[in-house]
Copies of this chain bind each other. A is one copy, B any other.
Amino acid sequence: MPRRYVSLKEVAARAGVSFQTASKVLNGGEVRVAAETAERIESAARELGYSPNTVARSLVQRTTYTIGLVAGSFADPALAELLIGAESAAREQGHAVLVSNLGGSGEGNVDVVRTLVERRVDGIVAAAPQLEEDTEVAELLRRYVPCVSLHHVPGGGVPLVGSNHRDVGRMATAHLAAAGRRHIGTVTGPYRRRVVRSRLRGYEDALRDGGLEASEDLVAESDWSPAGGAAAIRLLLEREPRLDAVFVQSDLMAVGVLAGLSAAGRTVPTEVAVVSCDDLAFAAYLNPPLTTVRLPLAETGARAVELLLQLTRGEEVDPAPVILPAELVVRASCGLGARDVPTTAPGRPGADHH
Contact = CB atoms under 8 A, between A and B. Distances in A.
A92 to B, nearest CB: 11
B49 A143 contact: yes
Interface in A85-129: 87-88, 91, 96-101, 103-104, 112, 114-120, 127, 129
Contact of A144 (B5, B340, B342): B5
Contacts of A179: none
A3 B144 CA distance: 6
Given A83-B99, A101-B87, A286-B255, A352 B76 contact: yes
B351 A75 contact: yes
Contacts of A66: 98, 119
Interface in A297-339: none
A341 B260 contact: yes
Interface stretch (A35-43, A188-196, A209-217): A188-196
Interface string A119-160: 110000001011000000000001111100001000000000
Interface residues of A, number: 102
A265 interface: no
Contact of A77 (B225, B262, B286, B351): B351
A284 B226 contact: yes
Which of A84, A130, A289 counts the most chain B CB atoms within 10 A? A84
Nearest to A350: B225
Contacts of A289: 259
Contact of A88 (B79, B103, B146, B222): B103
A178 interface: no
A354 B195 contact: yes
A224 B79 contact: no
A55 to B, nearest CB: 5
Contacts of A228: 346, 350
A353 interface: yes
A127 B347 CA distance: 24
A59 B7 CA distance: 12
A241 interface: no
A99 B95 CA distance: 11
A353 B281 contact: no
B227 A348 contact: yes
Given A74-B80, A118-B51, A226-B285, A3 B354 contact: no
A335 to B, nearest CB: 17
Nearest to A163: B354
A119 B165 CA distance: 39
9 contacts: A51-B118, A74-B81, A77-B351, A226-B285, A227-B348, A229-B285, A256-B285, A282-B282, A286-B287
Interface of A: 1, 3, 5, 49, 51-56, 58-59, 64, 66, 72-81, 83-84, 87-88, 91, 96-101, 103-104, 112, 114-120, 127, 129-130, 142-146, 151, 165, 189-190, 193, 195-196, 222-230, 234, 249-250, 252-253, 255-256, 258-260, 262-263, 281-282, 284-287, 289, 340-343, 345-354
Given A223-B346, A228-B350, A255-B286, 12 more contacts: A3-B144, A55-B64, A73-B351, A73-B353, A74-B80, A75-B81, A75-B349, A79-B353, A88-B101, A88-B103, A226-B347, A253-B350
Q: Considering the complex of A and B, which 3 residue pairs feature the smallest CB-CB distances, nearest first?
A: A76-B351, A225-B350, A224-B350
